[in-house]
Amino acid sequence: MRRWYLQPSILVGGATLLAVAGAALAAGTLYPDDPLDMVGAPFTWPGTEAATPLGTDLMGRDLLAGLMHGARISLLVGLSSAFVSLLIGVLVGATAGFYGGGIDATLTRITELFQTIPAFLLAIILVAILKPTVVTIVFALGVTSWTSVARLVRGEFATLRERDFVRASIALGAGDLHLIFREILPNAWTPVIVSTALLMANAILSEAGLSFLGLGDPNVVSWGSMVGLGRDALRTGWYMTAIPGLAIVLTILGLNLLSDALHGALNPRLRRSRS
Amino acid sequence: MTCRHSDHGENRAGTDGVIERAPVVDRRELFGLGGALLAGGALGSLFPREAHALTEAPVPAVENARAGGTLDAVVHPEPPTLAFFMNTATPTRAVVSKIFDGLVDYGPDLKPRPQLAESWETSADGLTWTLKLRKGAFWHDGTPFTSADVQFSAEVVWRRYAPTAKRIFQYLTKVEVPDAHTAVLTLSKPTPVIINALDVVAAPVLPRHLYEGTDIPNNPYNNKPVGTGPFVFKEWARGSHIRLERFDRYWQSGRPFLDGILWKIIPDVSGRANALETGLVQYGERNPVTFADADRLAKSDKLVVNKDGYNGFAGWLWLIPNLRHPILGQLKVRQAILHAINRDLLVKTVWGGYATPATGPVSSLLKTFYTPDTPQYPYDRKKAEALLDEAGFPKQADGWRFKLNHDFIPFGDDYRRTGEFVRQALRAVGIDVTLRGLDLAAWTKNVFAEYNFDLVSSWGINWQDPQIGVEQHYWSKAEAKGTPWFNASGYARPEADKLLEAAQTETDPARRVAIYHDFQKLAQADLGLLNILEFRWFGVWDARLRNVTNTFNHSQSNFAHVWFEQSA
Amino acid sequence: MLLPLLRRLLQLVGIVLAIAVLDFILLKSLPGDLVDVIASESGSVTPEYLAELRRLYGLDRHYLEQLVAYIGRLAQGDLGFSFRYGEPVFGLVLDRLPTTLALVGAALTLSVAVGLLLGIAAARRPHGVTDTLISGLSTLGYSAPLFWIALMLIVLFGVKLGWLPIGGIRDVSARHSGWRGSLDVVHHLILPVATLSIYYVAVYARLSRASMIDVLTEDYIRTARAKGAREGRVIFGHALPNAVLPVLTMLGVQSSALLGGSIVVETVFAWPGLGQLSFEAIKSRDIPVLLGVLLFSAVLVVLSNLLVDLVQMWLDPRVRRPRTASAAEPRARTEQPGRLA
């Protein structure tokens, strides 16, 4: 059997993400100025001016500079809101799965409640309440997408809690915190890791969606806001919409490929460890 | 000493290429007062002391018009309501102005044209206004229009609901109706602005038989209006369209020419461009498409892109500095901000050339009241930096002088881009500007209810008179915490108050204009508002559509005179 | 079978109540109110008028008092009144519901059908040419933001080719009626449905491929094959009913995401549905409408989950028993975060 990390999907996905991360890192050096600054003639098509290889938008801002700085926002929002949802999801799921009973029932109800509210709508409402900045967007997206993690972790905890090694620890008088964080959590990571890439992908997409609707942070360039801006020029310069959109597609594709590969690679072990 | 509106007698080539013959109107002068200098009629709209008696030919006159054809038009955004006597939102105006007629209408020269009022006269002391109302006008349900409707509207609607009328008619003490077609308004103080504020929205006339004694804000006819205008309301499918049909008993015989107007609701700007381009709609008002698309559509010989017909809708964009702010309270800082913004470039890049830098709070489109002779602050980055240094805000080690928030009005991408432009311009002189992307409710609350802002970009309309559209931004007594569009900067200058209050009751038109000239100079010296640019709204319509721009504001014209050239 | 049904219905009442309270508090913390919006749009208002509006709309009362009044009305089945639209919320929501259902229903039906077929085709020979092609394309479709697909479709089919209408639900000036009217709506549906479908086909193709691969390795399939059953019968008769379970679960899960997903698509295509209504309601602080939409969607979610459960019980007797590891496994795959935009 080939080593799992040599699959084409991992290579392609990893390379794409590395390229995006590279762009985000290089943005500050290659384009030290504010990417919101107007630097050229508006409506410059890609490949017509050497200074702006990807063209300019309808205000004369460099698309390439925007794309690279936008990569920062996308990755930042993706990583941080995935972290927020993991944090909430793991806490809720671990508590519910570990303690069971009334606590479990209550937390499960709360989780279900959140699942019945359309997440994107909730995110829009939260951003409107908190005013759009990168931080509030991260918070809004994190708070609206933890439910799946919670359910996953709860399931893992409920199973693992009954396992022999946990029972043995209990018999030895281990405290709850020790059991949760030292004994069970390390064994429950696998499904969480698999869904992290998806959480990130969803956060990036949601941030783009919010920005597209005009609910992004107006002080930073984001791929979604670039698509939203380009929409005004759909008939005269569709490239302004197409280019940042492609950047989103490639990044999400990279994350999805990675997540698929992880799923395929980790799942057999998951099954083995359970049997 | 006669004031004949000689310019009405000229043949004017309409912007649509149709020669319009002006109406034959017999104007009797009732109270000769005006000076000879006014005989040319340049200040005609300021003459309350004259009466119009319409003898023949409707206003505006139209020759060789053909009747027929339904106009598919686009309105954006969707009107929030059709209760225009409470909510005067622009899309509401566009739709309702076809359904209701006002007491008077205004031409491109901003002079009054008789509509439901055939003539009007003022007493010498300016305290009594006598309106002769039209006979043979009907509400769409067949009920005749009478002075009782005007009396009811003035006593109840103007006094309690209509925002402009409420201010304009603050001194109205009683309304008498000696007969079915005469209404006499009595005031406690002269109010010369009235003649410029009798249009359909400013002084709305509602059907008394459907509104009297009802819960007016919840009246079922608010959203299925019954008016006196040339078009009858048929249906409003939310999110889709509003259908109007020709009123067969309209008081102007032979009009309207159109069989109906179908307002389509197309929220997406490129959808509107597509609809206009493919002929799905034949009329769009008030910047219906992006500036780039406007330039593109203008090249089509099937479409007209035109900036005329908006003299009474002169919009201008300004920054509101929060004068309570320790830094923005300093005049030099405000001067520096104006010097830092390249307004020619702003007009070009953000407003696609459909604007022009403003010289003050009164738009140059409002010719009667406008003066260019005011202090100006041209783009000069060095001067801006020098002023900021002088004011005591040198650049710190981190390169910034100070921080400011900027809240642009969330009315669409053009305003957002204006905010981004201002941000870049001010950052260039060392002011660290943060944009706060608030939605309309949050923005309104922050700016007008809590005064929780540093710098705001927003816009307003002059309307037909500075007293209607400019005064409330500068008059210290207009400050009404919690009420949008009233003095939010905290500007309070006794000299400005004195001028504005003098203009409210000054019955001599020339003196009133002079007062407003003085006011503009003061406003530009004090910079209570940082006036940035005047809009040049454009409309887009089918080249076969005629006579659109023969009005003070084609977003608020009744379209009785608009017609389609059928053959092409 | 009746007991869980009853329990679910009871649960529904609890959820509705909880959602009402939670959302009410949430929405009341939005800065500014409907009167601010009206005043701002209107361009000129008076303080007295604003005060009168607030009194009329009940916005001058303490918000706990407003909440109690709202719950009281809700108990009588009254969703409240939208002063923005001058209409009862119930009618307003009911008015937009068919529009959204048409859009989402068409997209989901199409996607489940096409997705299942693609998934089955791919699962027959994992890592074969067909599978690689289908998996690759569905991963791509799964990765594109809906609003961007929508805009690209508009550029191609609306602007460049001019084949399809790019917004609205019908050509109102043509005044079609009867079957021509329906055809007109279908014409307007094509692009928005295509947008949603590109994503949903990808979702269901991936899902059904995975679960089909799982099912095809099970003993009873091997037994069926050993008995000499024809391939078509093995797949559609034996494997599909079980492989379809996670697809159904996903349908239930997605019913809540539908409204969210349709916000962007409805906005781009000017489709006057619930998504647009709720987005407008947020911006204009039309709280009763927003609450109405949220309650409606909550009920919809609970009911569709209930329906999914019932269908699952009918399809797979194993579900009635405590879940075994093998039945839970395909379910776990649907426990992945739902897409928002």
pLDDT in tens, B461-517: 999 999 999 999 999 988 888 888 899 999 999 999 999 999 999 999 999 999 999
Distance from CA of A30 to the nearest CA of B (A): 19
Q: How confident is the model at residue C86 (pLDDT cuts 50, 70, 90)?
A: confident
pLDDT at B31: 37
CB contact under 8 A, B419 and A218: yes
B349/A215 touch (CB, cutoff 8 Å), yes or no: no
Q: How many CB atoms neighbour CB B412 within 10 A?
A: 15
Fold of B315-535: Dipeptide-binding Protein; domain 3 (3.10.105)
DSSP state of B23: P
Instruction: Give B16-47 pLDDT, tens digit per residue.
Output: 433 333 333 333 333 333 333 333 334 434 44
Residue A118 CA to chain centroid, in angstroms?
A: 18
* CA C330 – CA C247 distance, rounded (Å): 9
Helices (H) and strands (E) in chain A, counts: 11, 0
> In this complex, do C86 and B274 lie within 8 Å of one another by their Cβ atoms?
no
Mean of pLDDT values over B232-238: 93
CATH architecture label of A20-26+61-268:
Orthogonal Bundle (1.10)
> Is residue C170 pLDDT above 70, yes or no?
yes
- Given an 8 Å threshold on Cβ–Cβ distance, is A232 in contact with B290? yes
As for the ipTM of the complex, it is 0.88
Residue C287, C-beta contacts closer than 8 angstroms, at least 6 positions apart? C24, C27, C28, C30, C34, C281
C283·B89 Cβ contact <8 A: no
C interface test, pick of B70, B74, B76, B81 with most C CB neighbours within 10 Å: B81
Name which of B161, B274, B461 is nearest C158 (Cβ-Cβ): B274
> What is the model's pLDDT at position B262?
96
Give the global pTM.
0.86
- Determine the pLDDT at residue C227: 82
pLDDT tens digits, B355-377? 999 999 999 999 999 999 999 99
Are residues B439 and B171 in contact, defined by beta-carbon separation less than 8 angstroms?
Answer: no
Scan for tokens 């004090």, then name that residue: B526
* Chain A residues 112-141 within an 8 A CB cutoff of chain C: 112-113, 115-121, 123-125, 128-129, 131, 141
CATH class of domain segment(s) B18-286+538-564: alpha beta
Structure confidence at residue C326 as a pLDDT band (50, 70, 90): very low
> How far is C264 from C318, CA to CA, in rounded Å?
39
Low-confidence ranges of chain A (pLDDT < 70): 1-6, 267-275
Domain ranges of chain B: 18-286+538-564, 315-535
Question: So what's the pLDDT on residue B32?
Answer: 35
Which residues in C lie closer than 8 A to residue A119 (C-beta atoms)? 256-257, 260, 338, 340
Chain A contact set for C155 (CB, 8 A): 234, 238, 241-242
Residue C158 has pLDDT above 70, yes or no: yes
User: Is the model more confident about C1 or about B195?
Assistant: B195
- Asked if the model's pLDDT at residue B48 lies above 60, the reply is no
* Extents of the domains making up chain A: 20-26+61-268
Does the distance separating the beta carbons of A218 and B437 come in below 8 Å?
yes
The pLDDT score that the predictor gives to residue B58 is 63
Chain B residue with minimum CA distance to C29 = B442
What residues of B are in contact with residue A128 (Cβ under 8 Å)? 439, 442
b or e along B347-381 (b: 16 or more beta carbons within 10 Å of the residue's beta carbon)?
bebbbbebbbbbbbbbbebbebbbbeebbebebee
- According to DSSP H, which parts of B38-193 are helical? 90-99, 147-152, 159-160, 163-168
Candidates C328, C335, C340; nearest CB to A205: C340
Mutate to test the interface with C, among B238, B290, B481 (most CBs of C within 10 A): B238
Helix/strand/coil for B388: helix
CB-based contact B310:B537 (threshold 8 Å): yes
Looking at residue C323, what is its pLDDT?
35
pLDDT on residue C261: 57
d(CA B260, CA B257): 9
Chain Cα centroid distance, residue A221 = 18
- Residue B113 above 80 pLDDT? yes
Task: Quote the tokens at residue B116.
Answer: 């439901």
**If you average pLDDT over each of B82-86, B159-163, B321-325, C193-197, which comes out highest?**
B321-325
What SS3 class is residue B418? helix
Residue pointed to by tokens 């002011």: B431
CB-neighbour burial class of residue C223 (10 A; exposed 0-12, middle 13-18, buried 19+): exposed
> A274 in helix, strand or coil?
helix
- Of A136, C24, C267, A227, nearest to B437 by C-alpha is A136
Query: By the 8 A CB rule, do B327 and B401 touch?
Result: no
Q: Note the pLDDT of residue C302.
A: 79
Tell whether the model's pLDDT for residue C249 goes beyond 80: no
Question: Is the pLDDT higher at C339 or at C259?
Answer: C259
Q: For residue B251, what is the enclosing H or E element?
A: none
B496 C-beta neighbours (distance < 10 Å), count = 20
Asked if B440 has any chain C CB less than 8 Å from its own CB, the reply is: yes
Q: What is the DSSP code (8-state) at residue B457? A: E
The least confident of A221-225, C2-6, C205-209 is C2-6
Give the pLDDT confidence of B126-156 residue by residue, as tens digits: 999 999 999 999 999 999 999 999 999 999 9
What is the DSSP annotation of B506-549? ---HHHHHHHHHHHHHHHHHHTSSEEEEEE---EEEETTEE-TT
B228 in Cβ contact with B140 (< 8 Å):
yes
Closest CA to A205 of B78, B420, C338: C338
Mean pLDDT along residues C116-126:
88
d(CA B93, CA B112): 18
Q: For residues B362 and A209, what is the distance between their CA atoms, to the nearest angstrom? A: 40
Q: CA-to-CA distance for B36 and B52, rounded, in angstroms? A: 20
- In order of A56, B56, B105, the CA distances from B251 in angstroms are 55, 13, 15
Q: What is the mean pLDDT of residues C45-71?
A: 85
Query: CB B89 to CB C270 under 8 A?
Result: no
What rounded mean pLDDT belongs to chain C? 81
CB contact set of C95 (below 8 Å; sequence gap of 6+) = B238
Mean pLDDT, rounded, for B64-74: 91
H-state helical runs in B79-162: 90-99, 147-152, 159-160
Average pLDDT over residues C312-340: 46
Please state, as a whole number, how many other Cβ atoms lie within 10 Å of the Cβ of residue C43: 21
Q: Mutating which of C23, C29, C148, C267 best tests the A interface, going by the most A Cβ atoms within 10 A?
A: C148
pLDDT value of residue A187: 83
Question: What is the residue-wise DSSP string for A49-96?
Answer: -SSSTT-B-TT-BBHHHHHHHHHHHHHHHHHHHHHHHHHHHHHHHHHH
Alpha-carbon distance values, C158 to B263, B280, B400, C60 (Å): 22, 13, 48, 48
In chain C, whose CA is at the least distance from the CA of B222? C86
The span from the CA of B214 to the CA of C66, in Å, is 25
Check residue B8 and give its pLDDT: 38
Which of A56, A80, A79, A81 is CA-nearest to residue A67? A56
Cross-chain Cβ contact B296/A132 below 8 Å: no
- Cβ(B204)–Cβ(B100) under 8 Å? yes
